[in-house]
């Protein structure tokens, strides 16, 4: 059974990238680990929704994803914005057929 998590997050700036951290409940429910691939739907509140693939990375003491530059530009995202996102873990055999 595929599980999908919906939540709201604040965008953080790490180096030259914008990222979101994934809350511990979502990490536990989806059994996420660094290096896993996920399908993410990102929506700036009250704007369009964008789907993308992402790889789970370590961000300080948390794990999360980096938001790609084209999505940042498309949704006009900046540090401190709140977004709504959903996340689904993709099994390794599925993700090897898709490019990031």
Domain boundaries, the chain: 4-91
Pick from 46, 55, 50: nearest CA to 17: 55
C-alpha to C-alpha distance for 94 and 89, rounded to whole angstroms? 10
Most confident by average pLDDT, 78-82, 89-93, 95-99: 78-82
Q: What is the pLDDT of residues 16-73, one digit of tens each?
A: 899 999 988 889 989 999 999 999 999 987 778 899 999 999 998 899 999 999 999 9
Whether pLDDT at 100 is above 60: no
pLDDT for the residue numbered 65: 94
Does 4-91 carry CATH code 2.40.30.100? yes
Q: Report the pLDDT value the prediction gives residue 1, as an integer from 0 to 100.
A: 59
pLDDT at site 57: 94
């Amino acid at each position: 059974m595929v599980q999908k998590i919906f939540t709201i997050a604040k965008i953080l700036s790490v180096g030259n990238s914008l990222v979101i951290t994934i809350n511990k409940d979502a990490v536990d429910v989806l059994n996420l680990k660094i290096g896993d691939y996920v399908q993410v739907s990102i929506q700036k509140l009250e704007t369009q929704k964008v789907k993308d693939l992402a790889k789970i990375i370590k961000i300080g003491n948390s794990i999360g994803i980096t938001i790609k530059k084209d999505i940042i530009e498309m949704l006009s995202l900046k540090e401190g914005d709140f977004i709504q996102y959903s996340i689904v873990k993709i099994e390794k055999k599925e993700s090897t057929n898709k490019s990031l």
